[in-house]
Amino acid sequence: MARRSVGRILRINVTVPLWLVIVLTVVGVTAAYFCAPSCREHLKFVTLLVAGAAGIYSAYYVGAALRLNLDREKQKASFEILGLLNRPEFVQVALLSFVWLRAWLSGRESCLRRPLTRVGGAVLGAF
């Protein structure tokens, strides 16, 4: 049996987007401006407040879009580097470097002076 806290009957999660709050506020302020002329000074303040909130809201999304754009540019650069590393010319150079390094570390420098052979399109040292 699930435990319930005392006094809780129903739990509801409702997401209200900020743009909806701003639109409803603008509609309410506009209606109050025409219906209550004595409160127009207060409505000017509320209008400035809503305009500031909308400006902050839009600045947040501009910043989020810029951050997302930077992340995508980094991904694009990473894929370009991976594409360059997987080119056949680079693979041949890497394989040749590995073969020469292995020969140098094993103390068989004489085999480095031998001619290189091609086997299946790859460059290999003559061991």
Q: Please tell me whether residues 43 and 65 are part of one structural domain.
A: yes
pLDDT at 23 over 80: yes
Is position 5 within any domain? Answer: no
Taking the whole predicted model, whether its pTM rises above 0.75 is answered as no
Q: Please tell me whether residues 71 and 31 are part of one structural domain.
A: yes
The domain total for the chain is: 2
The mean pLDDT value for 8-29 works out to 85
Q: Please tell me whether residues 80 and 31 are part of one structural domain.
A: yes
The mean pLDDT value for 17-34 works out to 85
User: How high does pLDDT run on average in the chain?
Assistant: 79
Is position 7 within any domain? Answer: no
- 109 pLDDT tier (thresholds 50, 70, 90): low
Range of the domain at 77: 16-85
What gap in Å lies between CA 119 and CA 62, rounded to an integer? 55
Q: Please tell me whether residues 37 and 76 are part of one structural domain.
A: yes
pLDDT at 120 over 70: no
SS3 helix, strand, coil % of the chain, rounded to 5?
A: 70, 5, 25
Query: What pLDDT is stored for residue 67 in this prediction?
Result: 95
In the chain, the N- to C-terminal Cα span, in Å, equals: 74
Q: Please tell me whether residues 60 and 114 are part of one structural domain.
A: no
Is position 92 within any domain? Answer: yes
Q: Please tell me whether residues 22 and 79 are part of one structural domain.
A: yes
Q: Please tell me whether residues 23 and 67 are part of one structural domain.
A: yes
Q: Please tell me whether residues 78 and 21 are part of one structural domain.
A: yes
Give the SS3 label for residue 106. Answer: coil
Query: What pLDDT is stored for residue 63 in this prediction?
Result: 94
Is position 2 within any domain? Answer: no
Roughly what angle, to the nearest 10 degrees, separates helices 18-35 and 40-85? 160
Q: Please tell me whether residues 25 and 80 are part of one structural domain.
A: yes
Is position 30 within any domain? Answer: yes
